[in-house]
């Protein structure tokens, strides 16, 4: 992952990363728990953005809110079954939604 971020010049945008060869695979919550512990943040301050049901199930298992993106791997039916906060259909829609909820807890009530 580090090499991919460096090659895409995105390294400075990420404070922490994990992938399956570094920790337990999704939907096990360990990946998110390790990141939250490392950064000193709580589940209500964390948002998982994912394009698979495994991403969204991991978020649920970690007590973290999730956003589904329908322009990835799994279709909307599988994504909605995981109860994300919202399902975004295009990359430009994501920043707009994030700005609209800025400052509110990430986990559903």
> How much is the pLDDT for 37?
97
Tokens of 29: 């919550």
Residue 108 lies in a domain: no
Please tell me the total count of domains within the chain.
Answer: 1
pTM above 0.85, yes or no: no
Note the Cα 75 to chain centre separation in Å.
17
The verdict on residue 90 lying in a domain is: yes
Q: Which SS3 state, helix, strand or coil, does residue 84 take?
A: coil
Task: Please state, in angstroms and rounded to a whole number, the distance separating the CA atoms of residues 56 and 80.
Answer: 9
Does a structural domain hold residue 44? yes
Domain extent, residue 74, equals 2-100
Flag whether 109 is in a domain.
no
Is residue 107 in some structural domain? no
Tens digits of residue pLDDT in 7-44: 878 788 888 888 888 999 999 999 999 999 999 999 99
Q: Which CATH number do you get for residue 78?
A: 3.40.50.1000
Whether omega before 24 lies within 30 degrees of 0, making that bond cis, reads no
Sequence-ordered list of residues with C-beta below 8 angstroms from that of 78, at least 6 positions apart, any chain: 52, 53
**18 inside domain:** yes
Residue 109 CB neighbour total at 10 angstroms: 3
């Amino acid at each position: 992952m580090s090499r991919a971020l460096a090659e895409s010049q995105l390294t400075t945008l990420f404070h922490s990363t994990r992938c399956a060869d570094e920790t337990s695979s999704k939907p096990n919550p360990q990946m998110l728990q390790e990141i939250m512990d490392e950064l000193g943040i709580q589940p209500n301050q964390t948002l998982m953005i994912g394009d698979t049901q495994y991403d969204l199930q991991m978020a649920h298992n970690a007590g973290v809110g999730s956003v589904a993106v329908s322009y990835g791997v799994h279709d909307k039916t599988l994504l909605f079954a995981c109860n994300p906060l919202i399902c975004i259909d295009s990359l430009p829609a994501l920043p707009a939604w994030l700005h609209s909820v800025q400052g509110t807890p990430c986990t559903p009530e």
